[in-house]
Amino acid sequence: MTNSPEATTPDSSPASTATDGAAEFSRLVEPRSESRLALQSGVWHQISPKYVTVQLISTGSFLAVVIAATLVLTLLMHQIWAWIPGGIMTVILGWTLAILPRQARSIGYQLRDDDLVFRRGILWQRFVAVPYGRMQLIDITHGPLDRGFGIAQLKFVTAAAATGVVIPGLAQSTAETLRDHLVEVAESRRTGL
């Protein structure tokens, strides 16, 4: 895994920035089957548990609105049909909430010598390897709720739309250090399109 001529940056540089206490999950959730996707080596960095809190709050409040609207429509205004969309949305959102904590623990990234590996998903696993030199830009976004909890989402954009490396729920300082690190590494390995 280290056949690059300039294997000088081990995958630890941003790790040192993200060790303030329990700022990250420490255990990766994977499928139980032996046939799951897994890499032989490397350290998986994980995201902040605050991401779960933020998602719980935002999805939970949306769920509350949906339930309230359904109840108002059916009980007060006697619109019986509202049960159907309301029920479907409630089930979907409830399920989303239920799997959220496990799902968040399945998100991880590795900083290898020449590329970034991103993983997410348990039932539907997804692994993506992006060479640093392919970076077109890095996007960091944080909404008001994210800011309140001090987390941010980092998006690694390449020339291919399908790459889709979006790391949510990074501590804000981690996201910024990671961004600077990625930009720096990409600059030294700059390639064409």
Partner 1 sequence: MPESLDPVPEPAGGPLVPPDPAAAPGPGVPQPQLVRSPLSDGEWHRLHPLTPLLRGGLFLIVVIGIVFANLRDRLLYIFLPWLAPGVGDEVVEWEQVGGDPVDFIIANNLYVLAGVAVLAVLIVLVAVFYTSWRFHTFRITDDDVEVRSGILFRTQRRAPLDRVQGVNLTRPMIARLLGMAKLEVVGAGTDANVKLEYLSTANAEAVRADILRLASGRRLAMAAGPAGGPGPRPVGRVASLSQTVGREITGLIEGPEAPVAEVESVVHIPVGRLVASHVLSTSTLGLLFAVVAIVIGVSQGVTWLLLGFVPAIIGFGAYWVRSIVRSLRYSIAPTPDGVRITFGLFTTITEIVPPGRVHAVEVTQGIFWRPAGWWTIRINRLTGRSATDSTTDQFTTVLPVGTASDVDRVLRLLQPSLADEERALILQEGMFGPAEDDTFANTPERAWWIRPLSYRRNGFRLTEDVLLMRRGAVWRKLVILPLARLQSIGLYQGPLDRASRVTNVRAHTVTGPVSPFLAAVDRDTALALFDDVAHGSVRAALTDRTHRWAQDESVAPSTPAPAAASGPEAPAGHGTEPAPTAPSAPVPHPGTVPAPPSSAEPAPASSPAPEDRG
Q: How many residues bind partner 1 (CB under 8 A)?
A: 38
Scanning residues 2 to 31, which ones bind partner 1 (CB under 8 A)? 3-4, 31
Sheet of 165-171: strands edge to edge? 137-141, 151-157, 165-171
The secondary structure element, H or E, covering residue 37 is none
The CA angle 76-78-84, to the nearest 5 degrees, is 110
Q: Is 126 in the site for partner 1 (CB under 8 A)?
A: yes
Helix (H, G, I), strand (E, B) or coil at 136: coil
Amino acid at 129: A
> Of 45 and 134, which CB lies nearer to partner 1 in the complex structure?
134
Residue with tokens 């987390």: 151
Hey, CA dihedral for 23, 26, 32, 38, is it positive or negative? positive
Torsion over CA of 51, 56, 61 and 62, rounded to 10 degrees? 90
Does residue 130 belong to the site contacting partner 1 (CB under 8 A)? yes
Of the candidates 10, 19, 20, 38, which one interacts with partner 1 according to CB under 8 A? 38
Q: How far is the CB of 88 from partner 1 (least distance, A)?
A: 23
Least distance to partner 1, CB of residue 125, Å: 5
Output 31 or 150, the one with its CB closest to partner 1.
31
Query: Using an 8 Å Cβ cutoff, are 102 and 29 in contact?
Result: yes
47 scored as a contact of partner 1 (CB under 8 A): no
Alpha-carbon distance 2 to 112, whole Å?
9
Of the residues 114, 152, 171, 182, which one makes contact with partner 1 according to CB under 8 A: 114
Per CB under 8 A, the list member of 21, 35, 76, 77 interacting with partner 1 is 35
The answer to whether 133 contacts partner 1 (rule: CB under 8 A) is yes
Residue 37 vs 75, nearer CB to partner 1: 37
Interface residue list for partner 1 (CB under 8 A): 1, 3-4, 31, 33-40, 112, 114-115, 117, 123-131, 133-134, 158-163, 165, 189, 191-193
